[in-house]
Amino acid sequence: MHIDLKGRTALVTGSTQGIGAAIATGLARSGARVAVNGRSTGRVRRSAAAIEHEVPGADVVPVAADVTTEAGAEQVAEALGRRVDILVNNLGVFGSADPLEITDDEWRRYFEVNVLAAVRLTRLFLPGMTERGWGRVQYLASDSAIVTPAEMIHYGMSKTALLAVSRGFAKQAAGTGVTVNSVVAGPTHTGGVEDFVHELVGRDLPWDEAQRAFMREHRPQSLLRRLIEPEEIANMVVYLSSDQASATTGGALRVDGGYVDSILP
């Protein structure tokens, strides 16, 4: 299957590192013009330069803006001439906390960053996509959307909400040529994860053994028995962004290494 995204403009929120950076790179490799986003100009520029290095000839637009605010969302829209064909709502914060200790402000923060920011960007860009008769909107959900962790209820809530948001906007876009989906990512090898893993299973194990021990002891539900690489999540997002995925909409696609013990979704 040859995926060609030439002529499409993609926005990947929170793409200076981790899964977002892998998605931006994957979309650029398939020929899309890609907006890389984060809060600081320096990090956004460095991430854009890394993609240009990895994908010679890539068309990358660095957009530094806090997309969790109305002003930030507007800034992104202006920087892209108000046109986005592929919107990947990747930005998300996570952390564990005693459920009885999570304050109202923290609940609101999780809703605003993980859910409302994505809704706002969808509102900004979906009408243009439907007018043009082609578009792709995606939300990065998580296994925690389906299996609520007791120590991350606030995070789980925000990811479950994204599944509803995604399904609802898919109905809104019905019959227009625009597809809307969620990607349910499982435990992924990003940022501080190596440190976290070594902390739990011991510092002296080589990485490969350490992650296998971590999965065996702390994530036994995983059928993959290793962490997922960001590129493996990105592959699904790139596919969903393609013409080839035209009949997949209103869905929640799992790239969770079989972590969620369910035949569906």
Residues serving a catalytic function are: 155
Rounded least distance, CB 155 to ligand NAP, Å: 7
| Residue 138 in the binding site for ligand NAP (CB under 6 A) | no
Stretch that binds ligand NAP, among 63-71, 78-86, 209-217, 242-250 (CB under 6 A): 63-71
Q: In sequence order, what are the residues at sequence separation of 6 or more whose Cβ sits closer than 8 angstroms to the Cβ of residue 96?
A: 149, 151, 152
**Range 149-168, binding ligand NAP (CB under 6 A):** none
Burial class (CB in 10 A: 0-12, 13-18, 19+), 229: middle
Instruction: Name which of 157, 155, 170, 72 is nearest 121 in CA terms.
Output: 72
Angstrom distances, CA of residue 47 to CA of 14, 77, 85, 179, 203: 11, 20, 21, 28, 30
CB-neighbour burial class of residue 100 (10 A; exposed 0-12, middle 13-18, buried 19+): exposed
Contact by Cβ (8 Å): 19, 47? no
Binding residue (CB under 6 A) for ligand NAP from 10, 11, 16, 240: 16
Q: Between the CA of residue 228 and those of 88, 219, 222, what are the distances in Å?
A: 19, 12, 10
In angstroms, the CA 91 to CA 118 distance is 8
- Contact residue for ligand NAP among 9, 25, 30, 90 (CB under 6 A): 90
In angstroms, what is the minimal distance from the CB of 175 to ligand NAP?
29
> Residue 132 CB, nearest distance to ligand NAP (Å)?
26
Q: Determine, following the binding rule CB under 6 A, whether residue 88 of this chain makes contact with ligand NAP.
A: no
The DSSP bridge pattern shows strands 252-255 and 86-89 to be: unpaired
14 is an interface residue for ligand NAP by CB under 6 A: yes
| Binding footprint of ligand NAP, residue count (CB under 6 A) | 27
**Residue closer to ligand NAP (CB basis): 125 or 244:** 125
Of positions 25, 30, 68, 242, contacts ligand NAP by CB under 6 A: 68
Binding pattern for the stretch 23-62 against ligand NAP, x by CB under 6 A and - elsewhere: --------------xxxx--x-------------------
**In the complex, which residues of this chain contact ligand NAP (CB under 6 A)?**
13-20, 37-40, 43, 66-68, 90-92, 94, 140, 142, 185, 187-188, 190-191
